[in-house]
Copies of this chain bind each other. A is one copy, B any other.
Amino acid sequence: MRIAVDAMGGDNAPDAVIEGAVLAAREYQVEILLVGQQGVVRESLDQYDLGGGKIEIVPASQIVLMDESPTEAIRGKKESSIAVAARLLGTGDADAMISAGNTGAALATTRSFLGKLKGLARPAIASVIPNEVDFTILLDVGANAGGCRPEHLRQFAIMGEIYAREVMGKENPRVGLLSVGEEESKGSAVTLSAFPLLAQSPINFVGNVEGSDVVNGSTDVVVCDGFVGNVILKLTEGIGEMLFKLISEELGKSKLAKLGVLMAAPVLRKFKKRIDYAEYGGAPLLGIKGVCIIGHGKSSAFAIKNAIRVASEFVSHGVNEHIEQKLKIIKEQGI
């Protein structure tokens, strides 16, 4: 299996990305295509012992910046690392791609180069949110800026369910529809109409869920509009940063407390590991004809390595084939 990695995307690119690629090439049965500015990538790559791993460099002269408009990136930077990686997917020279760069550009580029899965109305981005027990798959977290219709939410549910099962190893994932109350009668006009669609679908639909269900371990897949999902994603990250700053600040005021925390450190580290996004590797674009995993902008080498693992499982489990199949069943049965 060949995986194209955007070597230029992310706050810690290219070094962290290349280190992550080396780690993955050593550990997994994958061939890595590092896409980026040849000189820079070569220089960084030469620092590592590949240990038998297979890595090739594919040149791409341009870089899409983190805050660049996706439309401009598509039009103006046809030789960007994201565009070249997407082309490798289009020609079959790669089976999957990873980028920790500009999410909007990755979405727009893959969507325009590769198209959508058969029967799918709107792609979605799924994010893995740590919860009390393990993690929850939340989607859409930003491929759509609102305006999702009930049928879109149903398709998100189907894609999320398959991803949770095939890639994240959940056996019979519980799928919930995010709303403002558990009763079927509570919700917005869109969720009220989406409810019966999800209830009729071939998934383990557990009904409406609330904000707290994203993190309390009651639900494996939470389905929502891209506006709400994006707010949730950024809020959970913001709360994590806030807690860290507030606790550090309070601790700065007391030596005894500092010593106390030092003693509790191994436990706190374990806790941090449990809620660390890097463990889960990245957010898949679901619904495009191809496999693309979006890494967090702050991805470490460890996060990139995990994103490569996730991409290879996405391919080997045939997630996209499963999605097209289920969409076909729903269409045929008229449900």
Contact = CB atoms under 8 A, between A and B. Distances in A.
Interface of A: 131-132, 142, 145-147, 178-180, 186-191, 210-216, 224, 226-228, 230-239, 241-243, 245-247, 250-251, 253-254, 256-268, 270-271, 274-275
Contacts of A260: 259-265
Nearest to A264: B260
A235 B238 contact: no
Contact of A230 (B132, B180, B274): B180
The count of identical subunits is: 2
A88 B308 CA distance: 65
Which of A236, A238, A241, A264 counts the most chain B CB atoms within 10 A? A264
Contact of A228 (B186, B216, B228): B228
Contacts of A246: 132, 271, 274-275
18 contacts: A132-B246, A145-B180, A145-B187, A147-B188, A178-B231, A188-B227, A191-B227, A211-B234, A211-B238, A215-B242, A250-B267, A251-B264, A251-B267, A258-B264, A259-B263, A260-B261, A260-B265, A264-B264
A213 B178 CA distance: 22
Contact of A232 (B216, B231, B243): B231
Contacts of A258: 264
Contacts of A274: 246
Contacts of A191: 146, 227
A74 B13 CA distance: 60
Contact of A241 (B145, B147, B216, B231): B216
Dominant secondary structure of chain A at its interface with chain B: helix
B230 A228 contact: no
Given A263-B257, A264-B260, A226 B180 contact: yes
B189 A146 contact: yes
A210 B231 contact: yes
Nearest to A251: B267
Contact of A216 (B238, B250, B267, B275): B238
A333 to B, nearest CB: 30
Contacts of A239: 215, 236, 239
A257 B266 contact: yes
Contacts of A211: 230-238
Contacts of A230: 180, 210-211
Contacts of A131: 242
A123 to B, nearest CB: 16
Nearest to A270: B250
Contact of A267 (B179, B188, B253): B253
B210 A234 contact: yes
Contacts of A216: 238, 241-242
Contacts of A243: 243
